[in-house]
Structure 1
Amino acid sequence: MSEDKSSSALVLFSGGQDSTTCLAWALDRFAKVETIGFAYGQRHAIELDQRQILRAALLKNFPAWAEKLGEDHLLSLDVLAAISQSALTSEMAIAMDADGLPNTFVPGRNLIFLTFAGAVAYRRGLKHIIGGMCETDFSGYPDCRDDTIKAMQLALNLGMDRRFILDTPLMWLDKADTWRLADTLGGQKLTDLIIEETHTCYLGERGSRHAWGYGCGTCPACDLRAKGYAAWRGEPV
């Protein structure tokens, strides 16, 4: 009997909190799930090391998901760092640019990620492409907006003559809701894993352990994660 490709998914998996929650979401819903990550010269490249730690922990601690988790794909896109000057790809202070966007914005990053993910999904016969983009708690990145993702779905389907579905389960959730979703999906085992092993800090800092996980504690990504954790736990923000 042929495989039902409508029950297959490719998750954009960076090793961060959001993408790990999205991976759990996919494993809870689809029969076959693969992951894809990108090395693009990011300052916080330590997240790439965490990816395999997280995948191994999911295989070990969640037997029902283990049988669904398939191949991982890691693509090199160093050209992104070469053509963009951002605080995520170079040693510069995080600040707001004159156009109102934070200088952590890497122009075209999610558009490129989704294009390459579409190419891999095409080759692997996967239907759903899942990303952690969010328009509720975000830094103003235009490539995280719902309209952008809908446009990319249309472009991929027209350009590859497929009917991919781009799922963004976090699009309308704030960070507290993201913690809540992880707890609903995998309970304390999953939230503890997110605290201990995911990486969110823009500066690549894993020396300081906080209640919500590891990070510098001051960059925008750490601040958002900390406030979301406190709100989820019912603590003062």
Structure 2
Amino acid sequence: MGAMTDAALVLFSGGQDSTVCLAWALERYARVETVGFDYGQRHAVELEARVAVRTAIAERFPAWAARLGPDHMLDIRGFGQVGQSALTTERAIEIGEKGLPNTFVPGRNLVFFTYAAALADRRGLKALVGGMCETDFSGYPDCRRDTLDAMEAALNLGMAQDFRIETPLMRLTKADTWSLAKGLGGDPLVEIVRAESHTCYLGERGALHDWGHGCGTCPACELRAKGWEEWLAQGRPAIAS
């Protein structure tokens, strides 16, 4: 298979950020494939949300549906056992010695991009799209653009490729991410993000809050709810896609 320069692979968890990134890629690329990772996460319900989000996007946006290619699910539970954290074991979420929440899985994004690049190499895809952000985030060092620039260079050197790691949310607040969703797909996409995507670290899918499903108290829920409230206070503006 020859390389498709107009094609992208989205690292797709089924969460708010990766859902917006999927829409962002579908606006820009003629062919978009998705990849997800089962690393033994406590919030494995996100793996079900991935299917619901992809289905909803295909139903509500026919033009995007025509561009949406295969989904790939990779089993890397062995890595989850090595990088144990509050995301992979039953423990309270708290701040650790390094000042990071113990939801941090060491090297997770580096591993994700390594697997994604190997898949992209086989599939002939050049753009690797991730929802990492260093504006409103929990301080994870592997979400920083400097880290991902280094990762991009290492992948291209080690695989003799010319991949591009694209992070459209890197400089956005969570309020900006809601705005971008509005700009990309209007209220229908906002509703898909709100009702179908999953962010909560504890895997809570009970009541549907204004900002979506979740426990409301874990770091992921707090960031998502805070961004929603800030976006509402701004009058629900749309960032141009």
Q: Which TM bucket (shorter chain)?
A: over 0.9
1:78-98: CA deviations, max 9, x gaps?
012211231100110000011
- Residues of 1 paired with 2:62 and 2:2: CA distance? 21
| 2:51 is the alignment partner of 1:52 | yes
Question: Is residue 236 of structure 2 the alignment partner of residue 222 of structure 1?
Answer: no
Partner of 1:23 in structure 2?
22
User: 1: CA distance between counterparts of 2:163 and 2:66?
Assistant: 23
Q: Deviation of residue 3 (structure 1)? A: 7.1
CA distance in 2, matches of 1:4, 1:27: 18
What is the letter of the counterpart of residue 133 of structure 2?
C
State the superposition RMSD in angstroms: 1.4
Q: Verify: 1:80 aligned to 2:79, yes or no.
A: yes
Give every structure 1 segment of 4 or more consecutive aligned residues whose post-TM-superposition deviation is greater than 2 Å.
none
Output aligned runs, 1:49-198, within 5 Å: 49-198=48-197
Q: Identity of aligned pairs, percent?
A: 62
Name structure 1 gaps, 5 residues minimum. Answer: none
Identify unmatched segments of 5+ residues in structure 2: 235-241
SS in 1 for 2:200: coil
SS of 2:146 mapped into structure 1: helix
Q: 1-side partners of 2:190 and 2:88: how far apart?
A: 29
Does the residue aligned with 2:5 lie in a helix, a strand or coil?
Answer: helix
Aligned equivalents of 1:21 and 1:229: distance in 2?
14
Q: CA deviation at 1:59?
A: 1.0
SS of alignment partner, residue 7 of structure 1: strand
Q: Measure the CA separation in 1 of the matches of 2:3 and 2:151.
A: 24
Paired position in structure 1 for 2:237 = none
Q: In the aligned structure 1, how far is the partner of 2:2 from the partner of 2:163?
A: 16
- Amino acid in structure 2 at the alignment position of 1:156: L
Return the alpha-carbon distance in structure 1 between the equivalents of residues 230 and 37 of structure 2.
31
Distance (Å, rounded) in 1 between the aligned partners of 2:160 and 2:97: 40
AA at the equivalent of 1:16: G
One-letter amino acid of the structure 1 residue matched with residue 160 of structure 2: D
Deviation at 1:53, TM superposition (A): 1.0
Of 3-12 and 198-207, the range deviating more from structure 2: 3-12
2:47 partner amino acid: L
**2:53 & 2:84 partners in 1: Cα distance?**
30
- The normalised TM-score by structure 1 is 0.97
Q: CA–CA distance in 1 between the matches of 2:63 and 2:54?
A: 14
- C-alpha separation between the residues in 2 aligned to 1:12 and 1:116? 10
Secondary structure of 2:136's aligned partner: coil
**Structure-1 residue corresponding to 2:209:** 210
Q: Encode CA deviations 1:161-216: one digit per residue, 9 max, x unaligned.
A: 11000000000000000000000000000000111100000000001211011000
